[in-house]
Amino acid sequence: MSLLQQLGLAPETLGSKLAASRVLVVGDVMLDRYWFGDVSRISPEAPVPVARINRMEERAGGAANVARNIAGLGGQATILSVVGDDEAATALARLLAADGIQASLKRDPEISTTVKLRVVARQQQLIRLDFEDAPSHEILADKLDEYAAIVAEHDVVILSDYGKGGLTHVARMIALARAAGKPVLIDPKGDDYSKYAGATLLTPNRSEFRQVAGSWQTEEQLSAKAEALRAALQLDALLVTRSEEGMTLFRADGAVHEPTLAKEVYDVSGAGDTVIGTLGLMLAAGLDMPLAMSLANAAAGIVVAKLGTAVCHQRELFAL
């Protein structure tokens, strides 16, 4: 029996609902660059490997990867973000257009587009080089104005915080979305979650939640900490992704747990993007939270078996 059958979902019906669902993604976008090569010697200049590069790839990362997952699952994704006025921004726009994503990338000539360059040899990452700047106040204000103008046109809002400055006005964005009657899902960053108060759902991973709530020894302690945070921030729900332990959804009426479905973990980078992207799209399609979480968990199990910031496609999810 397929996963959809187990969940009582018909592929054709769900596919049609996903195609009609509109999700607005706002946050920090970045360009993920991969240089693939071989290592056969150590440099005579320093005790480091010499990588001979033979292939290069570019992928839209950060909040853009959330939008890619939504599009890959057959939904309508719009992304709103700030980039530099440079070659990397042009590459990002091209990649997003190729995936059928409606992108509004505000170009700030004062900054460089965030780029993460990874050198990979024999399936192992040798080094990652990051290039990034914080956007200016003026360009962020311009982005907020556009957000206010288009938020009502979408079914769900996802705010993807990578701590690069793109969500400086996150509290205002939450208020505008809730005023428009739209659920707000947030992938949080940092140790101060008070700015996310009033959101529908937060999706911290295990280490992020521990940083904010403190450590725990038992499931009872975890539940108590999750409920305390959920109540303090007036959230509808809190979803803690727990790596090999699966994920747990905490709501006022109790917790629901999903064990991990990953058969092979190859690369966990971008898995959080898949979780929140899938969850947001399924909620936009009318599914309830536990059902949406089951599908998000399954989608995450698919992407961790892929290299880099990968996406889960609808055919892969429906084939489970």
Active site residue 133: no
Q: Which position among 108, 267, 273, 288 bears the catalytic label?
A: 273
The dihedral built from the CA positions of residue 67, 71, 74 and 75, taken in this order, carries a sign that is: positive
For residue 139 the two structure tokens come to: 């360009």
Q: How far apart are CA 191 and CA 221, in angstroms?
A: 19
Strand order through the sheet with 115-121: 49-62, 29-42, 115-121, 124-131
**Residues tagged active-site:** 273
